[in-house]
Amino acid sequence: MKIVLDTHAHTIVSGHAYNTIREMAQMAKEKGLEAFALTEHAPQMPGTCHEFYFQNLHIVPREMYGVRLFMGVELNIMNEKGEVDLPESTLCQMDIAIASIHGPCYKGERTEEAITAAYLAAMENPLIHIIGHPDDGRYPVDYEQLAKKAKETGTILEVNNGSLRPGGFRVDTRKNDLKMLEYCKKYEVPVTMGSDAHMDVDLADYSYALPVIEESHFPEELIVNTSAELLESCIRYKRNMWKQKKVNC
């Protein structure tokens, strides 16, 4: 499998990562990537950057060292309504947006019904492209509903390499990823392997995600990391939803 991009990475501005934009771009070049996404933690994550950072991303070059950059955000899903921590006006400026549940930020109930509702509502947002690490057993989810809504809304589901790292703090991630992938196969939902790199050496490192993908016999044509065109088509699908929902971007 030829990997050409990474959809989930962080720099020092996220508060608990260790490299600059330029250092991440240099590493992407060294690893032979065509593109990668920098998705900094949104403002409700302790220690991360202010909303002003995201509003100013238009000044960042979208290519460095011959590698394409998608400048974006990893939003925090705040509650069962799928509300996130950047306004629509700022999200409109993002090349890409992930929405994830993080313990310090999520204020809703943690039942399967509530967590599933939070993800489904977030996927209805036409400015959200990827659901990040929906694998943590501490936040139980109905994976069939997740996959069906992802298909309906053109949302990508993520297999997060960091979640699968031995000694990680998320629970039952491998079992949950395998379950999710079975439903993604059934409903032909695109998935992405996100490195969730907080250090340049981890960019496009899928040491733990790729074996899970292979074990599930997941079709390569639905793996976003193999095709910038597939990622772009998913983003275009969401942009068409902007018009349908009269989002003023």
pLDDT band at 159 (very low <50, low <70, confident <90, very high): very high
Q: Say which CATH number the domain at 90 has.
A: 3.20.20.140
Residue 38's pLDDT is: 98
Amino acid at 157: L
98 and 234 in contact (C-beta within 8 Å)? no
Mean pLDDT value across residues 36-53: 98
Instruction: Band the pLDDT of 248: cuts 50, 70, 90.
Output: confident
Query: Does some domain include residue 96?
Result: yes
Q: Is the pLDDT of residue 243 over 90?
A: no
Mean pLDDT value of segment 191-205: 98
**Is 249 inside any structural domain?**
no
Q: What angle do CA 76, 80, 82 make, to 5 degrees?
A: 45
Please report the pLDDT score of residue 47 as a whole number. Answer: 97
Q: Is residue 5 a contact partner of residue 35, using CB atoms and an 8 Å limit?
A: yes
Contact 184/157 with Cβ under 8 angstroms?
A: yes
Whether residue 77 is contained in a domain is answered as: yes
**What are the tens digits of pLDDT across the range 160-192?**
999 999 999 999 999 999 999 999 999 999 999
pTM for this prediction: 0.97
Domain of 108, in residue numbers: 5-244
Mean of the per-residue pLDDT values for the chain?
A: 97
Digit-coded pLDDT (tens) for 100-156:
999 999 999 999 999 999 999 999 999 999 999 999 999 999 999 999 999 999 999
User: Is 215 a domain residue?
Assistant: yes
Q: Does residue 185 belong to any structural domain of this protein?
A: yes
Q: What is the mean pLDDT of residues 198-205?
A: 98
Residue 143 lies in a domain: yes
pLDDT of 109 reads 96
Integer Cα distance of 163 and 160 in angstroms: 5
DSSP state string for the chain:
----EES-B--GGGSS----HHHHHHHHHHTT-SEEEEEEEPTTSTT---HHHHHTGGGS-SEETTEEEEEEEEEEP-STT---SS-HHHHTT-SEEEEE--TTT--S--SHHHHHHHHHHHHH-TT--EE--TT-TTS---HHHHHHHHHHHT-EEEEEHHHHSTT-SSSSHHHHHHHHHHHHHHHT--EEEE--BSSGGGTT--TTHHHHHHHTT--GGGBGGG-HHHHHHHHHHHHHHHHHTT---
Looking at the chain, the whole-number percentage of residues with pLDDT higher than 90 is 96
Distance, CA of 52 to CA of 43 (rounded, Å) = 10
Is 20 within a domain? yes
pLDDT classification of 33: cutoffs 50, 70, 90: very high
- How does pLDDT run across 60-81, given as a tens digit for each residue? 999 999 999 999 999 999 999 9
Mean pLDDT of 189-213: 98
Q: How many domains does the chain contain in total?
A: 1
In whole angstroms, give the CA distance from residue 73 to residue 1: 27
